[in-house]
Amino acid sequence: MVTDHKQIGEALLQVNNVSLSFGAVQALSDVSFEVREHEILAIIGPNGAGKSSMLNVINGFYTANEGSIVYKGISRAKMEPADVARNGVSRTFQNIALFRGMTTLDNIMTGRNTKMHRNFIWQAIYIGPARNEELEHRRKAEEIIDFLEIQAIRKTPVGRLPYGLQKRVELGRALAAEPELLLLDEPMAGMNTEEKEDMCRFILDVNEEFGTTIALIEHDMGVVMDISDRVVVLDYGRKIADGSPDEVRGNQSVIDAYLGVSRE
């Protein structure tokens, strides 16, 4: 039963005063915001505002110079990316980062790797426990394939797929891990209107059917305003606004950041 009013809960992830620099380049300075359970949060901002860096910090791929990340009530300054993923954070990438040599099915199954536990001796023997585990996860992977309507390309190596489908497979791989927090880095970049509509529908469905919390980076303002519950705006590594789409739309500093401001 899908209701119109989602139950947006407590903060699932808090970003506290995070700063990040590469040499002399200050990518993020003193950024704080939170992602609440079951919501869709959009992070927007001009190019180079530090959006992708922000996701990378949340992922543990970059370590913040200052500040901390609190995820599910546990604070951390540094964590291995693999451990972050195992704790229920999965993501897609701005430039598609699929495993090109593998088929769609294998890519999605790889997303479930963290949920599989048979050791390599069982796997070498295969018959028995490893096979059962494999089949059980295949079933789950097929559910995602059905959900994303990519049955026909199940056994196609992803390198051969068109761009829009690759994006979809990448979403599938992220979903396969059954994440609590899904980070989407420009899920609609480079798509045509129809593909964007499809992708929007998938994002909303994921959010409503699985209750997954989503944080996404997107440049298409129409999409952002339509689907997100809340918007965080970054500019030059600083947070300049945080609020509902309507609030952000009217915010003067956001308008300045996007349209430029004349300096007397």
The half-sphere exposure of 16 on its side-chain side, counting CA atoms within 13 A, is: 14
What strands, in cross-sheet order, belong to the sheet with 66-71? 25-36, 11-22, 66-71, 74-76
Of 47 and 95, the one with the shorter C-beta distance to another protein is 95
Question: What DSSP string describes 118-141?
Answer: --HHHHHH-TTHHHHHHHHHHHHH
CA 7 from centre of chain: 20
DSSP 102: S
CB of 113 to another protein, least distance (A): 5
**Which 72-91 residues touch another protein, going by CB under 8 A?**
80-82, 84-86, 90-91
Task: Determine if residue 126 is left, alpha or beta; phi over 0 gives left, psi from -120 to 50 gives alpha, anything else beta.
Answer: left
How far apart are the C-alpha atoms of 235 and 241, rounded to whole Å?
9
Q: Tell me the closest approach of the beta carbon of residue 239 to another protein, in angstroms.
A: 22
Tokens at 221, concatenated: 């303002």
Tell me the C-alpha distance between 112 and 185, whole Å: 20
Strand 66-71 versus strand 40-44 pairing type: unpaired
Span 127-186, contacts to another protein by CB under 8 A: 130-131, 134-135, 138-139, 142, 173-174, 177, 185
The yes or no reply on residue 98 touching another protein (CB under 8 A) is yes
114 touching another protein, by CB under 8 A: yes
> Between 77 and 97, whose beta carbon lies closer to another protein?
97
Site for another protein in 31-50 (CB under 8 A): none
- The one among 52, 166, 207, 228 contacting another protein by CB under 8 A: 52
| Shortest reach from residue 96's CB to another protein, in Å | 9
Residues 54-73 that bind another protein (CB under 8 A): 56, 59, 61
Measured from the CB of residue 191, what is the shortest distance to another protein in angstroms? 19
Binding segment toward another protein, per CB under 8 A, in 43-51, 95-103, 204-212, 235-243: 95-103
- Residue by residue, DSSP assigns 238-251 as EEEEEE-HHHHHH-
- Binding residues for another protein, per CB under 8 A? 22, 52, 56, 59, 61, 80-82, 84-86, 90-91, 93-95, 97-102, 106, 109-111, 113-114, 116, 118, 120, 123-126, 130-131, 134-135, 138-139, 142, 173-174, 177, 185
